Amino acid sequence: MSMLMRPFTLLLMLTVSVLVVLFLQTRSIGLSEHTQRLDKFLQLRELDAKLDEQVLLIATGVQNQYDTQVSLRRSVNHLLQTLLNKEGAFYQGLDSVSSEWLTQYHLAQTEKAALTEEIKLYAALIRNALLFMPNLVQELRDDNHPQRDDAARLMSQLFRYHLFPDPSILTELYIQVDYFQLTLEDDHPALSSFAAQANQNLGHLNRLHQYRDAFNLIDTNHLLRQLEKSYQDHYHKQSRHAEAFTLTLLLLSILLMLLLGGMYNRLQQLNIKSEQARTRLQDAVNSLSEAFALFDKDGKLVLFNQRWLSFYPWLNNLSTLDWQTQQQFNKEKGVTTSTEISLSLDTTQNYLEHTPDGRWYQASNNPTAEGGIASVRTNITETQHAHLRLRQLGRALEQSPTAVMITDTFGVIEYINPKLSEMTGYSSEELLGQNNSILKSGEMPANTFIDMWSLLREGKTWSGQLLNRKKDGTLFWDSTSISPLRNDQAKLAILLR
């Protein structure tokens, strides 16, 4: 009776758990919390826009004071810390996709903050240099220096590039600065200082614009839009689910009663179906072309087919059989194995069995989930004999006094025997994969090969004399017989001997 009641208990516990979860989900989405999250998104969007504006003003030299930017950065960081708090109400209302977008936005803001510090540094260096350079030009003018106008023009171009950066003229500016340094007419202190400042300031301008471009490429506004969209999609999806949960609770209650009534009838049929399943399993095992036996965790034989007994006929007279007894009887009857058989298995064991009457079995012992053994035996006697014949044929080719080569239909060498290596001076490693034209002397008429391939494609053998070339370049005449070969897929290969 306890076994019959167990499914009812499990089903009841599962249904109650589902109902509790559904009830909690219907109360998890609050409109006020949703409104607060939207307000946070709005605050973040406004701070993000103001912060970008301040950084760009600093990069162009319009904004010389950094207090506003620092204050905005602190506000953004504080707000992000609140949003990223996994225990906070905001983060609890996000799904995994929205959380990932929030993380990406935070990483982007961190990267922007680092770039902002570089922008501020180079903006300050450039501003100080541009304030100092006019004084140097004025000093050159006071001394009526001949290069005063050149310095003024170069300073003007640096000012223009700072206000209106154009990558196309950057190289030209470097050339002009280098030329100015190379053409200094004297060691006037103001002139030397101006040349050094111009070169240094141009480098600072280039780095500032690189950092500014990198800053502009980080589209935090896009990430913020994706974050808000992802959250809105999640919220609307949860809202739709909440509307269906109440109806689901009612339907589940009705379904529970129906299932409990159906389960009672189901249990009455389980015993009958279990017997039917065992009969079908036995029929399926008997229909296998392989011999099959199943041993339980104690090693007792619980299921086998008739082919198992035909493979091991000496087992027919035993009333009971276990795994250890099976192996003992096999040894007594002269069955040999390619490896030592384990009495207990942790992994699959594969090996060959050879019976005294010359039969070969492919044996596979597999551990079952309960700790038993599922054994499968396949008769591979014919396969073993075929392998033996192939090995004998291979030895015959290797030991043949006649040179043998096998190629595909494109002339690519697939096999040579030692005699051919001896004849040509090439090792097998040098010839395998090469085209057989490597041995051609180039002295034979083209018609010889045309006639040869015509006969081979008709399935006939070609015989004749060929003038070939050895590895050392020596030419030699070879009495050759070439035959077409076809494999099981009717693909053509060429045998030369």
Amino acid at 94: L
Whether 392 is in a domain gets the answer: no
- Residue that is last in its domain, among 340, 355, 384: 384
**What is the rounded CA–CA span in Å between residue 453 and residue 409?**
10
- Indicate the burial class of 186 (C-beta count within 10 angstroms; 0-12, 13-18, 19 or more): exposed
In a domain, 393, yes or no: no
Q: How much is the pLDDT for 1?
A: 46
Mean pLDDT along residues 176-184:
80
Q: Give CA separation, 320 vs 300, 301, 330, in Å.
A: 8, 8, 15
Mean pLDDT score, 15-37: 65
Boundary of a domain, candidates 258, 287, 316: 287
Mean pLDDT value across residues 74-103: 89
For residue 437, what are the contacts with CB-CB under 8 A and spacing of at least 6?
A: 411
Interatomic CA distance for residues 48 and 394, integer angstroms: 78
Considering the domain architecture, whether residues 417 and 492 belong to the same structural domain is answered as yes
pLDDT at 113: 92
Same domain, 69 and 133: yes
**Do 137 and 152 lie in a common domain?**
yes
pLDDT > 90: what percent of the chain?
A: 11
Q: How confident is the model at residue 349 (pLDDT cuts 50, 70, 90)?
A: confident
Tell me the sheet residues that pair with 464: 480
Radius of gyration of the chain (CA): 44
Residues 109 and 257 in one domain: yes
Q: Is 395 a domain residue?
A: no
Structure confidence at residue 23 (pLDDT): 55
Indicate the Cα dihedral angle 469, 472, 473, 478, nearest 10°.
-20
Overall domain count for the chain: 3
More confident residue, 164 or 294: 294
Residue that is last in its domain, among 233, 260, 287: 287
Banded pLDDT at 490 (limits 50, 70, 90): very low
Tell me which of 133 and 104 has the higher pLDDT: 104
**Is 25 domain-assigned?**
yes
Q: Residue 161: pLDDT above 60?
A: yes
In a shared domain, residues 215 and 324: no
Asked whether 302 and 330 are in contact (CB, 8 A), the reply is no
Residues 372 and 414 in one domain: no
Same structural domain, 362 and 408: no
Tell me whether residue 243 is in a domain: yes
Q: For residue range 40-63, list pLDDT tens digits in order.
A: 889 999 999 999 999 988 887 777
Task: State the DSSP code for 341.
Answer: P
What residue numbers bound the domain in which 118 lies? 1-287
Residues 6+ apart with CB under 8 A from 253: 19
Compute the distance between CA of residue 395 and CA of residue 403 in angstroms, rounded to an integer. 14
Q: What value does the mean pLDDT take over residues 175-193?
A: 81
| Mean pLDDT, residues 476-481 taken together | 86
Is residue 389 situated within a structural domain?
A: no
Top-confidence range, 67-71, 146-150, 458-462: 67-71
Q: Are residues 173 and 203 in the same domain?
A: yes
User: Once rounded to an integer, what is the mean pLDDT over residues 338-347?
Assistant: 74
Q: What is the pLDDT of residue 24?
A: 55
Residue 302's SS3 state is: strand
- Through-space distance between the first and last CA atoms of the chain, rounded to whole angstroms: 82
CB-CB neighbours of 417 under 10 Å: 22
- Assign residue 405 the CATH number of its domain: 3.30.450.20
What CATH number has the domain bearing residue 333?
3.30.450
Same domain, 219 and 249: yes
Res. 220: pLDDT tops 70: yes
Q: Is the pLDDT of residue 275 over 60?
A: yes
Q: Are residues 262 and 314 in the same domain?
A: no
Q: 318 and 196, same structural domain?
A: no
31 in the same domain as 164: yes
Q: What is the CATH number of the domain that holds 175?
A: 1.20.58
484 belongs to a structural domain? yes
Give yes or no for a contact between 229 and 45, defined as CB atoms under 8 angstroms apart. Answer: no
Give yes or no for a contact between 318 and 301, defined as CB atoms under 8 angstroms apart.
no
Contact (CB, 8 A) for 185 and 146: yes
Average pLDDT over residues 370-374: 82
Question: Is 483 contained in some domain?
Answer: yes
Q: What is the band of 480 on the pLDDT scale with cuts at 50, 70, 90?
A: confident
How far is Cα 311 from Cα 355, in angstroms, rounded to an integer? 9
Beta bridge partners of 466: 478
- Is it the case that residue 4 has pLDDT exceeding 50? no
